[in-house]
Amino acid sequence: MEQLATQLFIGLSIGAVLLMVAVGLSVTFGQMNVINMAHGEFIMIGAYSAYVTQAVLGEDLAGWSFLTALPVAFVAAGVIGVLVEHLLIRRLHGRVLDTLLATWGVAIILQQAARDIFGAPNVQLMRPEALQGGITLAGVNMPFTRLTILGLAVGVVVLLALMIDRLPHGRRMRAVLQNRDLAEARGVNTSRVDRVTFFVGSGLAGLAGVAVTLLGPVGPSVGTLYLVDAFLIVIVGGLGHLRGAVVAAFALGVLNTFVEFSTSATLARAAVLLMVPVVMSGFEVSLLTRFLALAILAVGLDLAWGYGGMLSLGHGLFFGLGAYAMAMHLKLEAAGRDMPDFMVWSGRSELPWWWEPFRNAGFATAMALLLPAAVAAAMGYFVFRNRIRGAYFAILTQATVVVFTILLVGYQGYTGGSNGLTDLETMFGLDLGAVSTQRLLYFVTAGALVAVYLLARQLVRSRWGRLLIAVRDTEDRVRFLGYNPVAIKVVAFALSAALAGLGGALFVPVVGIVAPEMLGAVASIEMVIWVALGGRGSLVGAILGALLVNYAQFTISSVFPAGWSYAQGALLVVVIVAAPLGLVGLLRSARGRFDSRIVPTLATKER
Amino acid sequence: MSNELLEIDELRVGFDGFLALDGLSLTIGDGELRFIIGPNGAGKTTLLDVATGLTRPTAGSVRFDGAEIAKLAEHKIVRRGIGRTFQNATVFDALTVSENLDLAASSHRRWGLLRPPALSGELESLLEDVGLAQVAHDPAGSLSHGQRSWLEIAMLLAQRPRLLLLDEPVAGMSKAERAATGELLVEIASQRTVVVIEHDMEFVRQFAEHVSVLHAGGLLREGSVAEVQADPEVQRLYLAPDHGDEASDTDEALDANELTAATAR
């Protein structure tokens, strides 16, 4: 009982951090319709501001560093936030999804910058003496640090509510929130209001960053930990609704600690094994095969996003379902008559019933395609039927993939946990390590890619493909031609998922392993980057993007690891801002200039 | 008298306490060409929105060919035979003119959807009729305002609906374009039932026979153009003597208002 109450209290304090992050996110989204993926990095900036403040003040003044850090972090995060707003977000006004991707690029850059300046390992701040210890109330241990965080969050929310309610800026904010055009017509300087709002929203994330330093060590990627949760809060609590955000934040914080509390054992064991080294013989062949498998996924993603306007930040889920379906078969093949090794380690004595059919190669292959398609169809049906699209859809897919990876990691005994399914040695009796097998896989994968490309091209050129574009641009109008856009989108999304599953199924035998990190939230966004860089709305572009980006990642990151993050982030920002149709779009418009023919400028259209 | 195709009974539509339609009853006979006029905010576009499923009524019924349709999904209403155009002509900018037209004519297809778009002879001549044959392979996004409206009308015809609802088809058109559109409407009306919402009084006088006047969400008067024009209440409300021919400028200003209101919704 006491343990429960202590857990509850810890949950509340985490909820308090999330709340400070989420209210900032909520006001910027509510007012400017901007999904700022770099918002998490403002937490990181806040945390490092606290770190720097403490270093500058030295040991004598360490007791004051927490209080000093609060305004410092607020201003530091706020200023960088305003810079991002001024240099980037303003220029992408009205293009919600593009803003989302471009700010993701900013996030990558900021994270890498922190890594270069402060180093990759986490840093631990000294806890102010005044906050040592705690009080015990009715058996519940309440450290002063966590009480401080709670107080800080309550103070922040009250101040923000007062500001919105009382101050002139708050009035203007509400005006812009309700009707931007009208407010502008009435003489409200909306871009100034945006700037102030963004400053405050980012600053609040900075404050959250200072709070986080009280909880434990912080690192360059501390922001990503909180961002997804903050998005969930914003969605659950209702956009622009302060009260909803408060309730949702505390609920999620509490939920979080309980889930983590019960799975921490699995997590600890998970970090034991490292990735199986990729077989060196025939290495280049296998490398290329890998990229080709990813290109199949990119074609699928392009169908959904480039043609259908459904930006999925969760294609890792479908890739993962395909990969795991194939990997389960390979795992059983590797185990022979025995149980898969990880199940034995987890103390299981019997194969789960749903593993049994995966002994059959045909069943596993079929599942690799059907399972993602079915999940996508079900998800798509409920989402599209309720006319959820754009950024909401994107965040929803991202949340789904997060849940999926949590499940994968949590059920170690069934899924291999965070190690994934490893030691996949043979496929249909062939040694996966043999050069001849690698060659064969290469031909199979290349053949599959060609077939997928031809199929997709046929589809895109058909009436159905034209309809998909029509739905992307003007969904409501399509209804009045007698089509049901829900059906069109569900089919497109399911097909896209099936292709991602196929990519996953072909990827697994090449690398001989599948693990949750290959298909998590970050991996899912990287998949979108391939298509964005190559050129959405062009099948060749998607394939090129997947091949080039993965090749570049491989070469650059093996020579100069930090360089890759910068390059990827910068490329993403540049492409979204300057060439929304990617490489292929650039090539086309260059050719168009020679032809002096009008190239349809769909580029600036919101997808 | 022909039988009724569209029967609207005691229709009520409220937006946040504001009643856009307040107990409107109206019937359109099979084969009729009906003009609906009325000042801004009278509920004309809302009426079209309800009849096509875009807006759900708060109360009342909409019957098409004897069957209640007020609760059907938009695309199902279209499949029953009601087609519409929008105040600001909406076509698919990224697709070519002929692709736009082909899609409009293909909603009944099943496996045919997997084939590339192809114009039948009938659609080709339709393109000729609306003067877009020259630009058939250009993206619709490159069309002029008038051409877009014509394309939208052509798409509506390609759908082969029994009832056509047109929302200010000549808004923003030149005089010559207006005349051509009017003639086309009369020709269409000889085979189908057509309802036209219009602001332009000169256009109404020229082409309308039967007119319904909406005001404040209800039906004010119904009759021939001459009857309606002679009605003192209509005159007071809407057809003020000095509101005659040079009204088109203010009309367009009002259109813009209605448009923003529609997008805000």
B107 → closest Cβ in A461, A476, A481:
A481
* A89 and A215 belong to one structural domain: yes
Question: What's the pLDDT score for residue A148?
Answer: 86
Q: Does the interface predicted TM-score (ipTM) exceed 0.90?
A: no
Alpha carbons within 13 A on the beta-carbon side of B226? 0
What CATH number is associated with residue A221? 1.10.3470
* A354 and A475 belong to one structural domain: yes
* A384 and A323 belong to one structural domain: yes
* B27 and B155 belong to one structural domain: no
Alpha carbons within 13 A on the beta-carbon side of A443? 5
| Residue A349 maps to a domain | yes
| Residue A272 maps to a domain | no
Q: B109: distance to nearest CA of chain A, Å?
A: 10
* B62 and B7 belong to one structural domain: yes
Q: How far is CA A42 from CA A28, A200, A202, A252, in A?
A: 13, 11, 6, 21
| Residue B246 maps to a domain | no
| Residue B247 maps to a domain | no
* B191 and B68 belong to one structural domain: yes
Q: Is A192 an interface residue toward B (CB < 8 Å)?
A: no
Q: A33: distance to nearest CA of chain B, Å?
A: 15
- Length of chain A equals 607
- Percent pLDDT > 70 in chain B is 89
| Residue A603 maps to a domain | no
Q: Is A600 an interface residue toward B (CB < 8 Å)?
A: yes
pLDDT over 80 at A472, yes or no: yes
Q: How far is CA A326 from CA A76, A285, A366, B7, B216, in A?
A: 48, 20, 9, 59, 65
* B148 and B185 belong to one structural domain: no
* A224 and A93 belong to one structural domain: yes
* A230 and A189 belong to one structural domain: yes
* B170 and B222 belong to one structural domain: yes
Closest alpha carbon within chain A to B77:
A482
Domain with A227 in it: 13-263
What are the chain B neighbours of A459 within 8 Å (beta carbons)? 114
* A324 and A175 belong to one structural domain: no
Total number of domains constituting chain A: 2
Instruction: Give the pLDDT confidence of A322-336 residue by residue, as tens digits.
Output: 999 999 999 998 888
* A61 and A142 belong to one structural domain: yes
What are the chain A neighbours of B144 within 8 Å (beta carbons)? none
Greater confidence (A419 vs A241) lies with A419
* B65 and B186 belong to one structural domain: yes
Instruction: Give the pLDDT confidence of B204-250 residue by residue, as tens digits.
Output: 888 888 899 988 888 888 888 888 888 888 888 765 544 444 444 44
| Residue A596 maps to a domain | no
| Residue B141 maps to a domain | yes
pLDDT over 70 at B179, yes or no: yes
Domain with B225 in it: 1-81+161-240
Question: What's the pLDDT score for residue B242?
Answer: 46
Say how many Å lie between the first and final Cα of chain B, rounded: 39
| Residue A460 maps to a domain | yes
Q: Is A387 an interface residue toward B (CB < 8 Å)?
A: no
* B200 and B135 belong to one structural domain: no
* B197 and B184 belong to one structural domain: yes
Buried b (16+ CB within 10 A) or exposed e, B123-158: beebbeebebeebbebbbbebeebbbbbbbbbbbbb
With 0-12 / 13-18 / 19 or more C-beta atoms within 10 angstroms meaning exposed / middle / buried, residue B121 is exposed
| Residue B260 maps to a domain | no
| Residue B170 maps to a domain | yes
SS3 label, residue B16: coil
Nearest to A573 by CA among A116, A100, A40, A191: A100
* B179 and B156 belong to one structural domain: no
* B95 and B171 belong to one structural domain: no
DSSP symbols for A207-243: HHHHHHHHHS-B-TTHHHHHHHHHHHHHHHH-TT-HH
* A302 and A344 belong to one structural domain: yes
Q: Choose the mutation target among A178, A466, A467 for the interface with B, i.e. most B CBs under 10 Å.
A: A466
Question: How many C-beta neighbours within 10 Å does residue A604 have?
Answer: 10
| Residue B30 maps to a domain | yes
Instruction: Give the pLDDT confidence of A387-401 residue by residue, as tens digits.
Output: 887 788 888 898 899
Alpha carbons within 13 A on the beta-carbon side of A76? 24
pLDDT over 80 at A135, yes or no: no
Q: Choose the mutation target among A184, A455, A463 for the interface with B, i.e. most B CBs under 10 Å.
A: A463
Q: How does residue A599 score in pLDDT terms, banded at 50, 70 and 90?
A: very low
What are the chain A neighbours of B49 within 8 Å (beta carbons)? none
* B13 and B139 belong to one structural domain: no
Helix, strand, coil share of chain B (percent; to 5): 45, 25, 35
Total number of domains constituting chain B: 2
Instruction: Give the pLDDT confidence of A242-279 residue by residue, as tens digits.
Output: 566 666 666 666 655 555 444 333 332 222 222 222 33
Q: Choose the mutation target among B75, B77, B82, B108 for the interface with A, i.e. most A CBs under 10 Å.
A: B75
| A5 alpha carbon, distance to own chain's centre | 32
Q: What phi-psi label fits residue B52: left (phi over 0), alpha (psi between -120 and 50 degrees) or beta?
A: alpha
CB B14 within 8 A of CB B20: yes
* A259 and A312 belong to one structural domain: no
* A257 and A319 belong to one structural domain: no
Averaged over A306-335, what is the pLDDT?
93
| Residue B215 maps to a domain | yes
* A427 and A550 belong to one structural domain: yes
Give me the amino acid identity at A49.
S
Q: How far is CA B41 from CA A6, A51, A79, in A?
A: 60, 61, 47
| Residue B185 maps to a domain | yes
DSSP symbols for A306-334: IIT----S-HHHHHHHHHHHHHHHHHHHH
| Residue A283 maps to a domain | no
Stated as kind and residue range, the H or E segment containing A187 is none
* A229 and A312 belong to one structural domain: no
Q: Is A602 an interface residue toward B (CB < 8 Å)?
A: yes
> Would you state the torsion angle of the CA atoms of residues A130, A131, A134, A135, taken in this order, to the nearest 10 degrees?
60
Closest alpha carbon within chain A to B97:
A466
Averaged over A453-459, what is the pLDDT?
91
Q: How does residue B163 score in pLDDT terms, banded at 50, 70 and 90?
A: very high
Inspect the interface and report whether the beta carbons of A462 and B116 lie closer than 8 Å. Answer: yes
What CATH number is associated with residue B71? 3.40.50.300
Instruction: Give the pLDDT confidence of B5-44 residue by residue, as tens digits.
Output: 999 998 888 887 788 888 889 999 988 899 998 888 888 8
Instruction: Give the pLDDT confidence of A552-592 residue by residue, as tens digits.
Output: 788 777 777 777 778 777 877 777 777 777 777 777 776 65
Question: What's the pLDDT score for residue B88?
Answer: 83
Q: Is A188 an interface residue toward B (CB < 8 Å)?
A: no
Greater confidence (B196 vs B238) lies with B196
Q: Is A268 an interface residue toward B (CB < 8 Å)?
A: no
- A to B CB pairs, distance under 8 Å: 91
